Structure 1
Amino acid sequence: MPESMQSIQSAATASSTSDADLLAQTAMAVRAAASALRERFGDVVRYRTREELMRALAANDDAALDVLRPRLSLLRPHARFVEDELAGGALPPGEWWVLDPAEGNVNHLHALPEWAVTATLVRDNQPVLTAVHLPLTGETYTALAGAGARLDGRPLHVSQAADLGLSLVATSQARPDEDEKVVRRIGASITAMLLDALVVRTSVPATLHLLNVAAGRIDAFWQFAGARADLLPGALLVTEAGGRISDAEGRPWTPQSESFLAAAPGVHTEAVTTLSR
């Protein structure tokens, strides 16, 4: 078949695919990309300079993207890709794939298990669907706007926690080179939560904490600053699992917000009070 006909056929197939079918195929794509990344996982990757670190991170990203991007391009030929996974803010109109090909990349390099591959489709600045795969456990988390969140097909629900003082909460840093003001705000918020919550977890990446909020294992997660690729997958998963999303002061969250809070409804107000001190 001529290449032009193949393109027309792919476009026609993509336009007739429901979002539910698209999510299933997106999940297959992230699993395939994660498999490629898993083959690179094992020994600690040593680096002596920032340049060596950046090359190692990029090599992991490229290994996953080489599998992920062609598959997603076939699914939505007209959707564009966000090139900078650390970028934030609103996107132009239309469909965009927001990818984190190695979420928790630095953990992967250090032979730690907390890493994943994520793909989120954003349509006119609204997340439509997301798929997150954890290759070391084989788990796939998915969410479809208006249709719920699932772990390997099983519905997810946030916790029924109603007392922050009995809650397990978590936070993360958005990037290593945060502005000093953000770093100090993170430190102050951890101190506040240590006083008000039962247990506070601090680690990267954000997405894995948000998976746990959606699954009811953690009662709240917050972060200052952040990128679309860090927060959009988990935001959709938590929302579809019945959780509440806002900024740290309780206002509606958008990718332009300077803070992020995801919580079980029963502790959201208390978490906002603690973080607003």
Structure 2
Amino acid sequence: MTLNCNGKLIDLSTPKVMGILNLTPDSFYDGGKYEGEQGILGQVEKMLAEGATFIDVGAYSSRPGAAIVTLEDELTRIVPVVTMLIKTFPKINLSIDTFRSKVADACLKEGATMVNDISAGIQDDRMLAVVAEHGIPYCMMHMKGTPQNMQQNTDYSDLVVDLLYYFSERIARAREYHINDVIIDPGFGFSKTLEQNYTLLQNLDLLQTLELPILVGLSRKSMIYKVLEKTPQEALNGTTALHMVALQKGARILRVHDVAAAIECIILNEQLN
């Protein structure tokens, strides 16, 4: 499996790490942590040095019940940062975490190389057209509803079967736009109870039937720290444990806050295969 990021082929035969850069004041773990030019550049430089292949930049918190951010505010938060990062790190593979096509388009025009859309194009019917126009990889996540109401949408006839149906439909829609590089994200913590998250992880390998790269976002989430009766700040060890399970079940990209720990997971997992 490979991804074409603006002419650079990323080989996913060995799993890769996507480092998270939140520009929001209310993200569940690192909200407001990276403010100002030096804070942002320092964190990105650290993640790249530790081995991140991608940096995922978001300016709209998608945690359950997150506040709504206007389009103007999202653009104001993210576009200058994207411009700065591309200028400072010209070879960076920058992923844009947004469900809005105008935000994606503005950032892609600045040199970003991927879109990470929690709504799989459902929230903005222009998103797939924008992705197709730029010819970049597209990560589509499973979620029902919006971040504001998704935790009221956790009813499934069969969780894994429902996800397979959802992705089959969204992939077919992306193919209609001739989007070649599609990544699927099962959406841990999105429209799923704690128990459903673990059912999904246990059956993650079944998503390989879609024959597309699987991105997993488990880092420091409530499915970890609630079970351990810890805080997000204390959930790194639990995150690492579940990352190894995800790798064993076919994850090709780990989306993480802690790049060095995730790289170690990948190295050790490669020794088992």
Give me the TM-score of the superposition, normalised by structure 2. 0.31
**Structure with greater proportional strand content:** 1
Normalising by structure 1, what TM-score? 0.30
Structure whose CA Rg is larger: 1
